[in-house]
Amino acid sequence: MARSKLRSRRMPSGALYHGSRSKKKFELTGFAVNTKLSKEKKVKTTRVLGDHLKKALLSAKEVNVADKKGKTTKTEILNVIENPANPHLVRRNIITKGAVVETKLGKVRVTSRPGQESVVNGILV
């Protein structure tokens, strides 16, 4: 069944709201993209409204690291150390914005949204 952004058709009492109609394509939502740590990079492309394309990163192996001076380096991700959003994401090696990952350069905090931007960027901690 399709996931929708609309409110429920039922009131808290169980009665139906009147004037409901069928779901429209622009009201549909996507499922959460959990970007995992992997040996290879996988990107999923989805067509969205206006015939545009949205790229979601399904798995990642590298991160673009910016240091304090602004120099950017691409390095390999070794492990996910912590995630303030949810501690269970660390055990599953899922990368989200705000997660701290271990690299050869040291600990890196992820500043991009991998499920939305299809790239992992971060800064040294």
**Each residue's pLDDT tens digit, 40-53:** 999 999 998 899 99
Number of helices and strands in the chain (H, E): 2, 9
Confidence of residue 107 (pLDDT cuts 50, 70, 90): very high
Tell me, what's the pLDDT at 122?
98
Instruction: Give tens-digit pLDDT for 8-42.
Output: 889 999 999 988 788 888 888 888 899 999 999 99
Which sequence spans correspond to the domains of the chain? 31-124
CA 59 – CA 43 distance, rounded (Å): 7
CB proximity list for 73: less than 8 A, separation 6 or greater: 64, 65, 67, 105
Segment 69-95, tens digit of pLDDT = 989 999 999 999 999 999 999 999 999
What is the pTM for the complete model shown? Answer: 0.83
Domain boundaries 31-124, CATH class:
alpha beta
